[in-house]
Amino acid sequence: MVMNKGTGQLIGYARVSTGDQEARLQLDALTVAGCSRIFTDLASGKNIDRPELAAALDYLRPGDTLCVWKLDRFARSLIDLVATVDALTARGIGFKVLTGALASIDPNTPDGRLMLQVVGAMAEFERSLIRDRTRAGLEAAKAQGRVGGRPKAMTPDMLAAAQRRRAAGESYGEIAKALGVGKGTVHRALAAE
């Protein structure tokens, strides 16, 4: 998607959802596209607190173009997408998507605006399907007796040993060291009993 209002700067925005993801692909593509400055967030797409996006939007001036690698790295929902692009347009700022279905669409034309909304709606629909499938999978696992999440740090045997040691007057720190777990883990486990 290309919507360029002038000859200002090309400003990039990249986002990764987790610390395990790597922003290098996005950063490289934005650099090759000619972005003079790139703002990068580490935040889930559903997270409304994206300080680097806010900084990028604040940094942009009329004639500049905001550039993103892919649409799903930018907008949280169709409403968010349309509202943000409308706000950019009102400020005389362009919007460009480097890859994906909207890489060659101009949202200033009626056809481009329609495509923006259709693709945004499809992306939102796909996120909804993923969320529903995840929820169904968790419910099916729970029905089979499997519970997700992190395994307990203290086994029933360890808890019994911790209770005996605590009754004998040992400190939480001594118990934790002996069992090979954290002091907080011992404290929480004993408090729960």
Residues 74, 68 contacting (CB under 8 angstroms): yes
Question: Is 77 designated active site?
Answer: no
What would the two tokens of residue 103 be?
């890489």
**H/E segment holding residue 36:** none
Q: Cβ-count burial of 48 within 10 angstroms (0-12 exposed, 13-18 middle, 19+ buried)?
A: exposed
Question: Residue 87: how many CA atoms within 13 Å on its side-chain side?
Answer: 11
Q: Which of 17, 44, 128, 171 is catalytic?
A: 17
User: Known catalytic residues?
Assistant: 17
